[in-house]
Amino acid sequence: MKTLKYGLLVVLLTLISSCQPPVVFSEPQPVDEPKLVAIPKAYQGIYWCETDSISLIIEEQVIATQKKFESQLTLEEVKANPNLSFENATLHSKELNKSFPAKLKGEIITSEITITDTLYASSTQNVLKLYKGHLILSSPIEQGAWGVTIISLKSADALSITKAALPENLDAIERITPVSRVKDLESENIIQIQISPSRAEFNQILSQGLLFDGSCVDFDRIYPISIMPL
């Protein structure tokens, strides 16, 4: 378990909540494909990513990741920070509007902090579709802008999560669908692309591995051991 200072934890949570994806779609993908009513049982379970020490929980209506950190602060640091308070074995952060179980040993306050990132819940605006054996998750960024993540079963005991990544060469994408570029004002480097593929165009992008081929995180199933087929 990693140990983080409080300031680093605030930065990490801020980045998680505000990070813009490098590839933005104008609509949930693929278009003209129905939304899922429930996540197939073949995907449901608890998974573990050894590389990043992240657990993945998939239920009928929820997909979420969890990562645990240990935060250590001195009692003096907590007293000097107006955003922090320690009382009744609880560390409270006004800045994050969260409370965490904590222990005081000598002058050191140690707290185990679990960061939960809900990728999908049926009660949110996120859109989940089943397409060619993949779960396609579209998450709203702003009006007319969606980030897309693909969850794929690699075997009965493993799956992968892949987010659309900015390709080095846009020519192959542009041969399929028009591309709008967003550039950094100082360096003129492309920092984001925006596309509006049709269902057939999305299928080409997916099957050719043009956007969903690089940034992949692998998870191994830890529960249940036996699963039902799709």
**Is the model's pLDDT at 5 over the cut of 80?**
no
Residue 67 lies inside a defined structural domain of this protein:
yes
pLDDT at 20: 78
- Tens-place pLDDT, residues 134-170: 999 999 998 889 999 999 999 989 999 998 888 878 8
Residue 146 lies inside a defined structural domain of this protein:
yes
Backbone angles phi, psi at 138, to 5 degrees: -110, 125
Residue 229 lies inside a defined structural domain of this protein:
no
Q: What is the pTM of this model?
A: 0.81
Residue 205, domain extent: 2-223
Residue 228 lies inside a defined structural domain of this protein:
no
**Is the model's pLDDT at 2 over the cut of 60?**
no
Q: What's the mean pLDDT in 100-118? A: 86
* Local structure of 117: helix, strand or coil: strand
Kindly indicate the confidence band of residue 12, based on its pLDDT and cuts at 50, 70 and 90. Answer: very low
Residue 230 lies inside a defined structural domain of this protein:
no
What are the beta bridge partners of residue 81? none
Q: Is 109 exposed, middle or buried (0-12, 13-18, 19+ CB in 10 A)?
A: buried
Contact 61, 168 (CB under 8 A): no
Q: What's the mean pLDDT in 83-99? A: 84
Question: Which of 39 and 67 is assigned the larger pLDDT?
Answer: 39
Query: How distant, in Å, are the alpha carbons of 79, 92, 116, 126, 152 from that of 147?
Result: 41, 32, 19, 10, 17
What are the beta bridge partners of residue 36? none
- Domain total of the chain: 1
